[in-house]
Amino acid sequence: PIKELSVAGYFQWGEGALPGYNEATRKFAAQDTNLYVSMNRFGGGVAYKSAKAFARAEYIAGKTGDLNSQGFYVAGGYEFLKGLSLVARYDFFDDDTDNSDYSEQDITVGLDYNPVKPIDLKLNYTFENNKGRDNRNGIYFMVTVKYW
């Protein structure tokens, strides 16, 4: 075994309400419907974390009613100064693999700063490359305070 490496796998087999979904058009809309459908998922991931660097990847696929979907991400980071890390992430999601009208790819780069143990500051730039919708981008700032 490698101490810094972890591997995971998972699945979900169930049912639930799918608000606003129209089976005929295969689209979601602001309407008052609660279609009860099967919701099955599976996926897996791998992560590596050392004292100064990390790398992660995860894949998920599923079927919600008659919709097949899939997605994955890869992320990594390196602490180049005490408490300050450069991070990057790539995400892909296709909510209906049988219909090529829509998918989303996000590219994120940013800085994580941990000035003292319970406080984490994140500054990220994300570009959303959307098929079937307008592309977007944004700068995001987040503060996290951990408590035990």
Mean pLDDT of the chain: 89
Q: pLDDT confidence of 8, banded at 50, 70, 90?
A: very high
Write down the pLDDT at residue 66: 82
User: Mean pLDDT over residues 104-115, rounded?
Assistant: 96
pTM: 0.82
3-state helix, strand, coil in the chain (%, to 5): 0, 70, 30
Beta bridge partners of 82: none
- Please report the pLDDT score of residue 26 as a whole number: 63
Q: Once rounded to an integer, what is the mean pLDDT over residues 44-71?
A: 94
For the cut 80, the answer to whether the pLDDT of residue 132 exceeds it is no
Confidence of residue 24 (pLDDT cuts 50, 70, 90): low
pLDDT at residue number 18: 74
pLDDT at residue 101, as a whole number:
78
DSSP 23: T
Residue at token pair 């305070």: 145
Neighbours of 139 (CB within 10 A): 9
Sequence-ordered list of residues with C-beta below 8 angstroms from that of 107, at least 6 positions apart, any chain: 88, 89, 90, 126, 127, 129
pLDDT confidence band for 74 (50 / 70 / 90): very high
Confidence of residue 33 (pLDDT cuts 50, 70, 90): low
